[in-house]
Amino acid sequence: MNFGTGKVARANGIRQHYLHFPGVGPRVLIVPGIVSPAILWSHVGRWLMSDHDCFVLDVRGRGLSESGPHLDYGLDACAEDVAAFIRETHIGSATLIGHSMGARIALRMSTKAPELVRALVLVDPPTSGPGRRTYPIPIARTLGLLQAARQGEAAEALHSSMAAPWPEDLQRLRAEWLSTCDERAVYAAYEDFHSQDMFADLARTECPVSLICAGEGGVVSDTDIEEMRHLRPDMEAFRLAGAGHQLQAENFTGFSELLRAALRHQYPSNQEKK
């Protein structure tokens, strides 16, 4: 199985680990979610490398990137990591594909360093924030998975908590890598989910934006999509029926079709391989 080439960059003052899936085509950078090390997106990277040059980042406090009590795990620090990573690795302007927390990081980063972002694909971004409904996945559930992983019981905990089954290889990887996620990073992400306003960032970003939402789980409602389209009338929105928040694992075939459509929307000339 091709897990990509693992590399490390020293950027924004910390160690940032990433996977590279080299291909001929536009560059894309995947920013994963709250407890998803880069390796859990290897299957997406392998698929993308057929016509893209793909990078997948371990967000600080996850995977093999730097972790510990000395780090700021807030949204702005994570967004600055992404900008510094792109500059340090000389990737140049790239399309950012962010899932869940990673979508909010990518969106915030696009407002800080617009010259580094060619386009955004936001995958089921938490729409919670000040004065809005809470994020529907409770923090106790996420912390429970991390505790089980530290005790060597991740596989059992995942089996009992999953809304939909993952392919066996991805499920095994998830159980193996959950313990690399810093609990402090989870607390910070949930705090930002409710104190930071992603809609304000969406209104400020200048690059093309596409949205891919899960059909189940309630992370992004139809009302949320309407509000986003009011802010960004040019935004293309897709919904994957029957799949939950981890749609890239639960239904990769359906997800890949929507991701291809989103990327085509951002290359209106349909010349993706240039």
What would the pLDDT profile of 26-43 be if each residue is shown by its tens digit?
Answer: 999 999 999 999 999 999
Q: Does a structural domain hold residue 271?
A: no
Task: Express each pLDDT in 211-265 by its tens digit.
Answer: 999 999 999 999 999 999 999 999 999 999 999 999 999 999 999 999 999 998 7
Number of structural domains found in the chain:
1
* Residue in 195, 158, 163, 191 with CA at minimum distance from that of residue 173: 158
DSSP 66-115: --STTS--SHHHHHHHHHHHHHHHT--SEEEEEETHHHHHHHHHHHH-GG
For residue 57, the domain's CATH number is 3.40.50.1820
Q: What's the pLDDT at 270?
A: 42
Q: Does a structural domain hold residue 138?
A: yes
* Residue in 13, 105, 27 with CA at minimum distance from that of residue 65: 13
Q: Does a structural domain hold residue 135?
A: yes
pTM: 0.95
Task: Express each pLDDT in 132-180 by its tens digit.
Answer: 999 999 999 999 999 999 999 888 888 776 656 788 899 999 999 999 9
Q: Does a structural domain hold residue 272?
A: no
Per the structure, the complete domain to which residue 56 belongs is given by: 5-266
Note the Cα 154 to chain centre separation in Å: 21
